[in-house]
């Protein structure tokens, strides 16, 4: 629905709402200002009464929820659809997809920033899985349970960037990244370094050693894969591993990843 949202819905737009309601499968609605308005064409931002605009948008949202029978629906008020608006939209759509389709969704997203954000979400999700598995006190549990998760992650990241790789290739990539960081010992040192630099006890990195090492190791491998496939062969797996370890080691970057 592409229309102005700084005024109340017109009768025509309310008719469109009724049509939307009959579809019964709407989960996201974009309300945007068309790019061909005189102000937009002139490159000017029109003078707006912020209170009136807020009141108008509230009317839009109430009307949307009314016609959609109060079902869960995301409303995105956007004046001019910019590149950074697409990232939360892509993330929202991905969460609403069946798990079978989430795997291939990132590869279908042509917007680079949105695709990268979906890949980061994948890395964070599987890092949490690895951290849970890292709580297992059984010796070599990382080789038994965590390494397959990391191999799967590399395969999915490759697919997101339009690359098809074998499980063997992904396993070799994981091994190279682990070697760059000194395998488990290197990840352990990196985890302790990050933990020491973080004073907030609520951060997920402040967890038992086994889980923390698994989390950090999976983060390094995941971001190494992201950097490698983003570069389209512009860097080696070893170079990607080093750069990823530096990124994960930086407190500001780690904090950014944790809140996404």
pLDDT in tens for each of the 260 residues of the chain? 444 445 566 666 666 666 666 665 656 665 554 444 444 444 445 445 556 656 666 666 676 666 666 555 666 555 555 677 778 888 888 887 777 777 788 888 888 889 999 999 999 999 888 888 877 766 666 567 888 999 999 999 999 999 999 999 999 999 998 877 554 444 555 555 555 544 444 444 444 556 777 888 888 899 999 999 999 878 999 999 889 888 887 743 444 444 34
**Contact at 8 Å (CB) between 226 and 119?**
yes
- Cα–Cα distance between 178 and 194 in angstroms, integer? 17
Q: What is the distance in angstroms between the CA of the first residue and the CA of the last residue of the chain?
A: 28
Backbone dihedral angles phi then psi of residue 167, each to the nearest 5 degrees: -65, -35
- Cα–Cα distance between 106 and 41 in angstroms, integer? 32
CA nearest to 125, candidates 218, 228, 230: 218
Locate 239 and state its tokens. Answer: 């170079």
Q: How many helices (H) and strands (E) does the chain have?
A: 13, 2
pTM value is: 0.65
Q: Name the one residue in this structure whose structure tokens are 């795997």.
A: 103
Bridge partner residues of 28 (DSSP): 74
**Contact at 8 Å (CB) between 131 and 203?**
no
């Amino acid at each position: 629905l592409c229309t102005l949202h700084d005024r109340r819905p017109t009768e025509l737009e309310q008719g469109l709402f009724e049509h939307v309601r009959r579809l019964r499968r709407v989960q996201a609605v974009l309300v945007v200002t068309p790019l061909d308005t005189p102000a937009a064409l002139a490159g000017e931002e029109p003078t707006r009464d912020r209170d009136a605009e807020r009141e108008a948008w509230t009317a839009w949202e109430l009307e949307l929820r009314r016609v959609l029978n109060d079902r869960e629906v995301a409303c995105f008020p956007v004046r001019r659809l910019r590149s950074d608006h697409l990232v939360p939209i892509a993330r929202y759509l991905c969460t609403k997809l069946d798990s079978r389709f989430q795997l291939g969704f990132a590869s279908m997203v042509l917007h680079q920033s949105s695709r990268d954000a979906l890949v980061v979400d994948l890395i964070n999700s599987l890092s949490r899985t690895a951290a849970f598995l890292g709580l297992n006190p059984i010796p070599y549990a990382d080789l038994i349970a965590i390494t397959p998760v990391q191999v799967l992650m590399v395969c999915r990241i490759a697919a997101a960037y339009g690359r098809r790789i074998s499980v063997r290739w992904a396993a070799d990539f994981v091994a190279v990244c682990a070697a760059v960081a000194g395998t488990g010992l290197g990840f352990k040192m990196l985890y302790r370094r990050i933990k020491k630099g973080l004073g907030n006890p609520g951060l997920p990195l402040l967890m038992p050693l086994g889980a923390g090492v698994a989390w950090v190791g999976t983060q390094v491998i995941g971001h190494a894969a992201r950097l490698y496939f983003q570069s389209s062969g512009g860097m080696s797996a070893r170079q990607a591993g080093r750069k990823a370890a530096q990124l994960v080691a930086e407190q500001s970057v780690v904090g950014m990843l944790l809140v996404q």
